[in-house]
């Protein structure tokens, strides 16, 4: 039971910093969204907005929607202030959200680093396993070279080191 608690503690030490950082970044995203909404309500000058116009097909393919008033386009986050529709085209007057764009880039970087560390950790585990396999010998082949003597050849997994093991003759030879 004590080993399980220690194991859970070590697991938390490994995962905790990443999880806490992720939660803090999500909290910052929510705060920034609130600030942007407050700025929109206060009235943003139309000159500060970005006009993006798409066909319906382009909008479906190029835009990744967070919710009905926010989307990502070309790795930038936009908040929709005004949406206009003319036949097959849709125009969005948007606020380019620099802070949320930077937060998303930071999150992607963190996940990339975590994934890389996971791959590196797995590679280190494989190398350690290969090392341990070289420490144990595996008896493979037995040859009988002489009538009363058996030689066993043992090889390890990687270096093909050979050790000789001689079995004494039974009964012992008589000299005389």
| pLDDT tens readout for residues 100-132 | 888 888 888 887 777 776 766 777 778 777 777
The answer to whether residues 18 and 114 touch, using CB atoms and an 8 Å cutoff, is yes
Residue found by looking up tokens 């990744």 in the block: 64
DSSP code at position 110: H
pLDDT of 168 reads: 63
pLDDT of 95 reads: 80
Six token digits for residue 28: 């910052």
C-alpha 37/C-alpha 76 separation (Å) is: 17
Q: What is the pLDDT of residues 56-104, one digit of tens each?
A: 888 888 898 888 788 899 989 888 888 888 888 999 988 888 888 888 8
pLDDT of residue 145 exceeding 50: yes
Given its phi and psi angles, is residue 154 left (phi above 0), alpha (psi -120 to 50 degrees) or beta?
beta
The answer to whether residues 106 and 67 touch, using CB atoms and an 8 Å cutoff, is no
Arithmetic mean of pLDDT over the chain: 76
More confident residue, 165 or 8: 8
Six token digits for residue 86: 């003319």
pLDDT of residue 149 exceeding 70: no
Confidence of residue 40 (pLDDT cuts 50, 70, 90): low
Hey, which residues does 65 pair with through a beta bridge?
A: 71
C-alpha 93/C-alpha 50 separation (Å) is: 6
Confidence of residue 29 (pLDDT cuts 50, 70, 90): confident
Q: What are phi and psi of 175, to 5 degrees?
A: -110, 135
The answer to whether residues 78 and 36 touch, using CB atoms and an 8 Å cutoff, is no
pLDDT of 81 reads: 81
More confident residue, 150 or 168: 168
């Amino acid at each position: 039971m004590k080993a399980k608690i220690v194991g859970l503690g070590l697991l938390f030490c490994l995962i905790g910093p990443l999880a806490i950082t992720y939660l803090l970044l999500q909290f910052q995203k929510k705060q920034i969204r609130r600030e942007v909404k407050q700025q929109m309500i206060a009235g943003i000058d139309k000159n500060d907005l970005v006009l993006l116009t798409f066909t319906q097909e382009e909008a479906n393919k190029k835009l990744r929607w967070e919710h009905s008033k926010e989307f990502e386009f070309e790795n930038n986050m936009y908040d929709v202030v005004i949406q206009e529709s003319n036949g097959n085209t849709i125009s969005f007057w948007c606020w380019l959200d620099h802070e949320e764009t930077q937060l998303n880039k930071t999150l992607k970087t963190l996940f990339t680093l975590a994934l890389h560390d996971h791959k590196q950790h797995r590679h280190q585990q494989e190398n350690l396993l290969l090392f341990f396999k070289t420490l144990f010998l595996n008896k493979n082949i037995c040859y009988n070279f002489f009538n009363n003597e058996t030689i066993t050849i043992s090889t390890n997994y990687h270096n093909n080191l050979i050790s000789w093991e001689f079995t004494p003759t039974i009964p012992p030879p008589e000299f005389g």
